[in-house]
Amino acid sequence: MVIQVAPGWWKAVSQPDGTWDIRNFGDRKLATVEAGEDSEIHARMLASSTYMSEALALLLTVIGDEDLPDNGYYNSEDRTSIKDMALTAVKTAMGNDQWNWRFGLGLEELPSR
């Protein structure tokens, strides 16, 4: 299995035609966000995704059960768990194999919602 990591941080670069380029640390273009009303918001979200997924993954490794004894439930009606939401987001961004390999955690697959 090949582990793929998005190296370094990305940046959003505004173009004269209203589009936004997503570029890596070596200034290589990775993607283009089409011009539109929300193009800057979408470009900045994409550019920050590597940083956010890494930060969220690290946060999950330091949060213990004593920090979230109820698993971080914030909605008593459907028992939505902040910890499960964060783990799902990280696994979606990194992939299950990537998450387990990078952080050495044998976490079971989360059920889909």
Distance CA 12, CA 10 (A): 7
pLDDT of residue 61: 75
pLDDT of residue 112: 41
pLDDT of residue 90: 79
pLDDT of residue 56: 83
> Using a CB cutoff of 8 Å and minimum separation of 24, what contacts does 97-103 make?
97/1, 97/3, 98/3, 98/4, 98/5, 99/57, 101/3, 102/3, 102/5, 102/57, 103/57, 103/60, 103/61
Q: Where are the domains of the chain?
A: 11-103
Distance CA 46, CA 66 (A): 33
pLDDT of residue 88: 80
pLDDT average per 10 residues of sequence, the chain (113 residues): 56 96 92 96 90 81 66 65 78 68 49 40
